Amino acid sequence: MTMKPAYQFNFAGLFVGVTQADESPLEPGVFLLPARCTFTPPPAEIPPDKWPRWNGAEWQMVNRPSADKPESPLAKLQAFLTANPDVAALVTTGGV
């Protein structure tokens, strides 16, 4: 039986790997595409900060999520107020 590479993506459309599509036993030359796969290969060059995402018609390069732990909301607010002293003054005086 002949096989053809198929490119898998997850529910979000993000590329996860390569599998094989089997040839149809009833229609020679026709390949059975597995679920959440496409015969269109992702880009050959993938930057480390990008991830191929299948949009239903083509692969798009999207930002790869960071493995870093997200900053807490309080730390973000403190950094913002430090960088914007005029806003910090309004907050501490009650906006008057």
Q: What is the pLDDT of residues 30-81, one digit of tens each?
A: 999 999 999 999 999 999 999 999 999 999 999 998 777 777 889 888 888 8
91/96 Cα distance (integer angstroms): 9
pLDDT at residue 96 above 60? no
Partnered with residue 60 across adjacent β-strands are: 53
Residues 6 or more apart whose Cβ sits within 8 Å of residue 5: 18, 19, 20, 21, 39, 41
pLDDT at residue 90 above 90? no
Report how far Cα 44 is from the mean position of its chain's Cα atoms.
16
Q: What is the residue extent of each domain of the chain? A: 3-63, 66-96
3-23 pLDDT per residue, tens: 999 999 999 999 999 999 999
DSSP letter (8 states) at residue 94: T
